[in-house]
Structure 1
Amino acid sequence: MGERALQGVSAAPGITFGRAVVLDRANSRASGPVREADREVEAERARGALRLAATDLEGIAADLRRAGRGDEADIVETGVLMAMDPELAARVETLTLETGREAADALREAAEEMALELSLLPDPTLALRADDVRSVGRRAAAHLQGAARRISEGVLIAVSLGPADVAELAPTVRGIALSGGGVTAHAAIVARSLGLPMVVGAGAGLLEIEEGEEVVVDGDRGLVVRKPEPERAALARDDAHRRRTARETAIARRLEPAETQDGRRIRVLANASTVAELEEASRQGAEGIGLMRTELLFLEAPRWPSREEQVKVLRPVLARMFGQTATVRLFDFGGDKTPPFLRGISARGIEVLLNAPAEMRTHLAAVVEAGSGADLRLLVPMVTKPDDVRAVRAMLDTVLEGHGMPKVGAMIETPEAAEGAVDIAKLCDFLSIGTNDLTQLVLGLDRERSRKAPVMDPRVLSLIARTVRAGRRAQIPVDVCGEAASDASSLPVMVGLGVDELSVAAARVGQVRQWIRDLSFESSRRESERLLEQAGHASR
């Protein structure tokens, strides 16, 4: 049998290779009932295991604080509260005393019951704690079974994990693949912060992987590859080593500007929607946020989120951006990012918001409030015409409530927007080119293939060049925030075309800054002109 790829969702970037360490596969096998005379003893064993789990979590949080990772410590400490939750203890006691479950089984079952209830809550932030509760139950049960964390180096395969699991296992595991989970779950946030490649939502087929089986986790493309071919495994090993070395160099050189050898300065910003991503990007020298995806925490919401719910999610990140560039993309719902309350829509991006003016007003007010103090830039998604930007500006005037007017920019990710970039730019303070969707729409590719797409295809490259020229004519900065911004082959061409900013994943910031330092702008400009001339387009 050759290699087999399982498609999931990218939760933390990076590519790694190792042997599978399968966590908790046998948990579903329950034992027989405990004799009534022994049930009180079993209940006390369960209570003691919860106390040990809480002690574990306190220790992990303390280690994170000593390492300067206070935000991750805060996340882990929520597990301490869960382990000490009277409701969890009561459910465990009911299962042990009334139904005769063994302590370890009772702990896992009670945690699973609470997790299922949490996952159904309308508040998406609370719903995401379901995996955290499961993690507490699994940890407590492991103490009873003498299975405290002794996981050898490899790729961790599991149904779900909590943030403490990730923080504790990061020094030994090379990557993580989950059959369930979400990109905004606490475990994924911690994985991104610690630079651990992670794929979630890979489906039940992931759990067919055998202990010790060779696996590649591609956190860039959301793939898990079973029994990879030797060439793929070698590339993954090389990539992991290169990333480790690049990160160490990036941190050491974070205060040096990203400037080509002949003096062209490029701002490198981060795609960051969480505190963990922002902290990692800052360590590597990011000069601000180039893309904050506001829709991520609300993809499972049963209704439009309130202003208070949105501010609660946005403020922890934006409060750290005082005086710094913070580019917040307005809700980009639709397509593969459609929450339950919008199922069946055909619209995407700004069109969805324009069809719901009251909700759009609430959204704008929340972003402006949460971003107070930052150099706030609002990015309008899936723009197709100048009126899209004009409508956002008009509504902004009604929600400022004493706050300063943020900058407004258009996401140029449709052929229509690129063709009309000159007129759109007249209404904007900046432009941001989304190369993934632009490539997908121009070449007719699916979303996965567009991530690896030939952005230098003449049809795509000419539209990017047109957008850059429109920005230059309007005297506003132009940013690239798609895959092309952090791809070694396309980055020099983007720089040569004259883009001013590149926005990349937090873990890629340092590498991209170094690539820029290694470039000659003049050579890159000549190469981009050559490619455009081959396509039958002038570069100016």
Structure 2
Amino acid sequence: METKSDNILKGIAAAPGIAIAKAFIYEKEKESINDDAIVNVDEALQNLDIALAQSKKELRKIFSLAVDKLGEKRAAIFDAQIMILDDPILISTIQNRISKEKKIPEYVVEDEISKYTRIMNASNEPYMKERSHDIEDIKNRIIRNLKKKKLKSRITNDVVVVTSNLSPSDTVLFARANVKGYLTDFGGLTSHAAILARSLNIPAVVGLHEATNKIKDGELVIIDGYYGQVIINPDEKQIASYQKKIEKLTEHDEELNKIKELPAQTLDGKEVKLLANLDVSSEMDFIVHNNAQGIGLVRTEQLFEEHEEFPDEEKQYQIYKNIAEQIYPNMVIIRTFDIGGDKVLPVDLHEPNPMLGWRGIRLLLDSPDLFKVQIKAI
């Protein structure tokens, strides 16, 4: 976390937008799990079946809500979670362990599913690490239902939710309360919660690390989802400044909404293509929503900002494929890495005066391995 002053936190801009509202600290109850022995195996297996059925029922309800708010494509996240609950290998493994070890279902579920989250967290791929939170959410849901506890997610309307980590289901359920924003200690641009927040047009800043420690429940906060900035207990000057920004953004959006369905053409009737620039993947929802006729420039060097390490050919391919699928059948122009100079390098390359020309295509031609990987991916 980077701190610019006593009341400003800096994180990752995960979903664009600005909001001024009171903070709601959301702390998930941590279930204590012991390895108690069971007396009746059949009863334990029956309890597991009931908990799995209840978990699927909850997820189907969330899926239905997500379809209404986001459409089937985004709601598929929850369909995938339901499929995990139907996974015959996972479920039979849990059932067999309960029968063999004679341990309570809560312990076996915790232990077995945690194996998967540990593997995913050990990955060097940020995407895999983010998916571990989804698996954790499924595990906690089953355990809560085994303990016959109700889901507690009631919050006051019009607040900024502050939490350590946000699950996809939290993101959708809280949206019903007209939340103004999301702040999390952990998470990244590729998390399902961040993707859903962008689709819901709810500002989000993630990866703040100490938001839950620095922000108190009920404190006024300003969330800037464009720059990944959070202001705690803003003064009058800061509030006035951001209120003006909100007004300008609202006016700008209203003007765009009036004209975005109109054909892009000159006064004498000649049609032109109105294409978007793409700097980071989080802008895709905005581009699609506003009917861009394609993407005129994908600044691929921004990939460095979204990944802990330089993406290999397969990862680049998946990123480009995702962009192309979302904008199809419109065109996409992908620019090769414009790196060097004042921009971060993916490899250990040094040049005495980088601003004088050893950058962009010149640098790539001198780094054929780097260049070939990107060309193959494209």
Shorter-chain TM range is 0.7 to 0.9
CA change 1:97–1:180 in 2 (3 A) is: farther
Check whether the contact 2:38–2:44 (CA below 8 A) recurs between aligned residues.
Answer: no
- Matched with 2:10 is 7
CA change 1:252–1:120 in 2 (3 A) is: farther
C-alpha offsets along residues 14-67 of structure 1, whole Å, 9 cap, x if unaligned? Answer: 12122222233542x626554533787566545533433333333333344445
Partner of 1:220, secondary structure, is coil
C-alpha offsets along residues 366-425 of structure 1, whole Å, 9 cap, x if unaligned? Answer: 21xxxxxxxxxxxxxxxxxxxxxxxxxxxxxxxxxxxxxxxxxxxxxxxxxxxxxxxxxx
One-letter amino acid matched to 2:151: A
- Matched with 2:324 is 318
CA change 1:31–1:260 in 2 (3 A) is: same
In the TM superposition, what is the alpha-carbon distance from 1:199 to its structure 2 partner? 0.9
C-alpha offsets along residues 239-268 of structure 1, whole Å, 9 cap, x if unaligned? Answer: 55765675465334312367999x9x9946
Check whether the contact 2:70–2:200 (CA below 8 A) recurs between aligned residues.
Answer: no
Matched, 1:21 2:7: no
Q: Distance in 2 between matches of 1:237 and 1:137?
A: 41
Q: Distance in 2 between matches of 1:18 and 1:108?
A: 37
- Matched with 2:186 is 180
- Matched with 1:229 is 235
Matched, 1:171 2:146: no
Partner of 1:129, secondary structure, is helix
Matched, 1:299 2:307: yes
CA change 1:315–1:32 in 2 (3 A) is: closer
Equivalenced residue count is 358
Check whether the contact 2:63–2:79 (CA below 8 A) recurs between aligned residues.
Answer: yes
Matched, 1:157 2:162: yes
One-letter amino acid matched to 2:174: L
Check whether the contact 1:13–1:196 (CA below 8 A) recurs between aligned residues.
Answer: yes
Unaligned runs of 5+ in 2: 352-358
Check whether the contact 2:10–2:208 (CA below 8 A) recurs between aligned residues.
Answer: yes
- Matched with 2:207 is 201
In the TM superposition, what is the alpha-carbon distance from 1:205 to its structure 2 partner? 4.9
One-letter amino acid matched to 1:179: D
Partner of 1:225, secondary structure, is strand
Matched, 1:365 2:370: no
In the TM superposition, what is the alpha-carbon distance from 1:164 to its structure 2 partner? 3.5
Aligned-residue Cα RMSD (Å) equals 4.3
Range 167-176 or range 47-56, more displaced: 47-56
Check whether the contact 2:162–2:211 (CA below 8 A) recurs between aligned residues.
Answer: no
In the TM superposition, what is the alpha-carbon distance from 1:91 to its structure 2 partner? 5.7
Correspondence list, 1:411-430, <5 A? none
Range 171-180 or range 312-321, more displaced: 312-321
Q: Distance in 2 between matches of 1:47 and 1:198?
A: 37
C-alpha offsets along residues 206-228 of structure 1, whole Å, 9 cap, x if unaligned? Answer: 44533333322221111222222
Partner of 2:39, secondary structure, is helix
Matched, 1:220 2:226: yes
Unaligned runs of 5+ in 1: 368-540
C-alpha offsets along residues 461-487 of structure 1, whole Å, 9 cap, x if unaligned? Answer: xxxxxxxxxxxxxxxxxxxxxxxxxxx
Q: Distance in 2 between matches of 1:97 and 1:23?
A: 38
Matched, 1:192 2:195: no
Greater relative contact order (CA < 8 Å, ≥ 6 in sequence)? 2
One-letter amino acid matched to 2:119: E
Check whether the contact 2:37–2:104 (CA below 8 A) recurs between aligned residues.
Answer: no
| Identity fraction in percent | 24
Could you tell me the TM-score, scaled by structure 2's length?
Answer: 0.74
CA change 1:214–1:246 in 2 (3 A) is: same
Q: Distance in 2 between matches of 1:5 and 1:314?
A: 35
Check whether the contact 1:299–1:337 (CA below 8 A) recurs between aligned residues.
Answer: no
